[in-house]
A and B are shown apart, each in its own frame.
Chain A
Amino acid sequence: MASDNPEFEQLVNRGYAHGFVTDIDSDTIPPGLNEDVIRMISAKKKEPEFLLNWRLRAYEHWLTMKEPNWAHLHHTPIDYQAISYFSAPKSRDDAPKSLDEVDPKLLETYEKLGIPLHERARLAGVAVDAVFDSVSVATTFKGKLAKAGVIFCSFSEAVQLHPELIERYLGKVVPYTDNYFATLNSAVFTDGSFVFIPKGVRCPLELSTYFRINAANTGQFERTLIVAEEGSHVSYLEGCTAPMRDENQLHAAVVELIAMDDAEIKYSTVQNWYPGDEEGRGGIYNFVTKRGDCAGRNSKISWTQVETGSAITWKYPSCILRGDNSVGEFYSVAVTNNMQQADTGTKMVHIGKNTSSTIVSKGISAGRAQSSYRGLVQVMAGAEGARNHTQCDSLLMGDKCGAHTFPYIEVKNPSARVEHEATTSKIGEDQLFYCRQRGISEEDAVNMIVNGFCKEVFKELPMEFAVEAQNLLCVSLEGAVG
């Protein structure tokens, strides 16, 4: 129970605690987007020819595309020429060799975020590839991972050290022509993470990255690529916070996962970017493309996400179930409060035989927020014996918010079994009164009921993330009732 925790009062009363700005000079390219900017990014990062050409092809293609408008979202138009496409902490030129060399202010920032890097890494056994703005500044546990043959580094580093892997896998799951935001990302992405788990290796650590948007007006274009070879296993955690800024910031990340025969990738996200104030001013626009390719037989990709932040969330982590007997999972909690809007869900594309997928989506709306679940379950003609189970629940708090469900099902094979369940409920006065009669405050009762509602998803998260996710929910829904 939250009230057991002396920090709880503090927690709910601090508003958006992560809304501070670190005062570090940024090496920033002036706003605007054109071919020269892309060449400049590529040059600054000393990229090989193939990557520059790939970026340029993406940019050319992007110019022919239109921003999608099918989602249940409303926002002022994004001025892509007002965004600065590159920003790096200044100390980058003499990049730190160890944590001791990291700018103390940066470390302080992580402290404020509750991520004492060294401690957390040591205590929790988590290797952290911390992304501050667009460039990685610290990577830990390299040794232990290297011993297992695991590659876990920033994307830029991977481009330098393992260009053949990048060339082989980049854009294979999300091609540069995929969609407006993914294409933009392909042209201008600055950094991200790269993970390679070799054949038969079970990654000895949970891998984790903390993203953070810092410099004003800087779009974040992260690129993550995870490759799990035959029989390997990896669990990757991603968590994010952002400082308070009064201008909308665009975030268009791309995550690609590839699982070979018998490989398993578990990808967990806790997303807590600045959602804007009560009137909806400020806040992050989060347009993300996440897709996993279950390329091999018996492979498995599992997405778990807890989305509490951002003014706008547009995100559909998907699985392409190509390998026979492959498994795709999507567990999601999306919380929207005040003026937040979320249009999120998943795609499960069944191509191989006996493929199965599970979708559990929990949407919570409060204030004047709008939350939509949008899911596609597609069973191709050759997907003999495909199975899907979708469960989609919405919880409403108050009478000014909305929850919407857009399930699409396309089945081209008669042996498929596809199930869809959906419920919408309100937090009952009866439930609240029951808890309060037992001495539990209204705020705590709401947290308890909401956390109960999300339990099925939280149990999929690694322990430390589950706790963090519950705390996030408390903060996100503060003042939503009463």
Chain B
Amino acid sequence: MLKIDNLHARVEGREILKGLSLTIGEGEVHAIMGPNGSGKSTLVQVLAGRDDYQVTSGSVTFLGKNLLDLAPEERAHEGLFLAFQYPVEIPGVNNTYLLKAALNSMRKHRGESDLDAVEFLALIRDKMKLMEMDASFLNRGVNEGFSGGEKKRNEILQMAVLEPRLALLDETDSGLDIDALKVVANGVNSLRSADRSIVMVTHYQRLLDYIEPDFVHVLSAGRIIRSGDKSLALELERRGYDWVLKEALEESQA
């Protein structure tokens, strides 16, 4: 599905990713953890194609295509989805409108016809039930005046509608109380499937109690320094990051 090889990237002249490699297979759920400033958010922004992030070397292949050659909207069309850590507000633009435009752009790319308003409404109502969202949401501006929890739920709603092949969830758990977290996790779990992969960036093991990952990676100073299964996350929760960092340092010196 996704193969990242020796990726280096800069933001405002500073190198943040320093030779990151990662392979994600179909249907797999990966969690990326790591201390602040290790490059977790940079990684997902680079994958989504944010302009101010400059890739200096390395390669990323997504479903057989060179991902780095594609514009952000083309990456989306290929099936890459980013649930933002801080979803932006777009005043005056209706939620329904944005989502319908997004879905129809995907459908157009796949050579399918546009959904009309009635079909779309049926689809979105269904997904809103899943995310336990109120009908009034449809007529509000994009993220306009949303609480933190509503914004995150909205991200997962969009994911449910757009049905991506690869979903990147950037700290989707941050700022959520336990009830909201359950709703969001429930939404994500219902979207797990054999042909859809998920990458979760998170600080906390808590999220992984609800969305169980197949693999856990520790990112530090722009590289993945350790990978394991979900027990790694539990160990990190118990012991903190210091021991991993120390072991990695010793390995590199050996």
Interface residues of A (CB under 8 A from B): 1, 3-4, 428-431, 433-442, 444, 448-449, 451-456
Contact = CB atoms under 8 A, between A and B. Distances in A.
B101 A1 contact: yes
Contacts of B48: 433, 437
A433 B109 CA distance: 19
Interface stretch (B82-90, B125-133, B172-180, B224-232): B82-90
B37 interface: no
Secondary structure type dominating chain A contacts: helix
A1 B108 CA distance: 13
A164 B141 CA distance: 52
Contact of B76 (A1, A4, A437): A437
B115 to A, nearest CB: 10
6 contacts: A1-B97, A428-B88, A436-B73, A438-B101, A438-B102, A448-B90
A433 B50 contact: yes
Nearest to B109: A439
Contact of A436 (B76, B97, B108): B76
A423 to B, nearest CB: 10
Given A1-B101, A1-B104, A429-B51, A436 B72 contact: yes
Given A437-B72, A439-B109, A440-B73, A431 B90 contact: yes
A436 B91 contact: no
Interface of B: 48-52, 71-73, 75-77, 81-82, 84, 87-88, 90-93, 97-102, 104-106, 108-109, 114, 141-142, 158, 162
A436 B92 contact: no
Contacts of B88: 428, 430-431, 434
A4 B162 contact: no
B33 to A, nearest CB: 23
Contacts of A435: 90, 98, 102
A438 B98 contact: yes
B102 A439 contact: yes
A434 B84 contact: yes
Contacts of A4: 101, 104, 114
A236 B76 CA distance: 45
A344 B72 CA distance: 38
B88 to A, nearest CB: 5
Nearest to A448: B93
B97 A439 contact: no
Looking at B50, B82, B105, the one whose CB has the most chain A CB atoms below 10 A away is B105
A442 B49 CA distance: 13
Q: Name the 10 nearest CB pairs between A and B, nearest first.
A: A452-B92, A1-B101, A452-B93, A438-B102, A439-B76, A455-B92, A436-B72, A439-B105, A436-B73, A430-B88
A98 B91 CA distance: 48
Contact of A441 (B50, B98, B99, B105): B105
Contacts of B81: 437
A440 B74 CA distance: 9
A448 to B, nearest CB: 6
A449 B93 contact: yes
Contacts of A439: 73, 76-77, 102, 105-106, 109, 162
Contacts of B72: 433, 436-437
A76 to B, nearest CB: 38
A449 B90 CA distance: 7
Contacts of A437: 48-49, 72-73, 75-76, 81-82, 84
Given A4-B114, A433-B50, A433-B72, A440 B101 contact: yes
Contacts of A1: 97, 100-101, 104-105
Contacts of B114: 4
A456 B92 contact: yes
Given A434-B88, A437-B82, A452-B141, A3 B101 contact: yes
A399 to B, nearest CB: 15
B51 A3 contact: no
A1 B98 CA distance: 8
A442 B93 contact: no
Contacts of B102: 435, 438-440
Contacts of B93: 448-449, 451-452
B53 to A, nearest CB: 11
Contact of A3 (B75, B76, B108, B158): B108
A186 B98 CA distance: 49
A205 B41 CA distance: 57
A453 B104 CA distance: 22
A456 B90 CA distance: 14
B104 A3 contact: yes
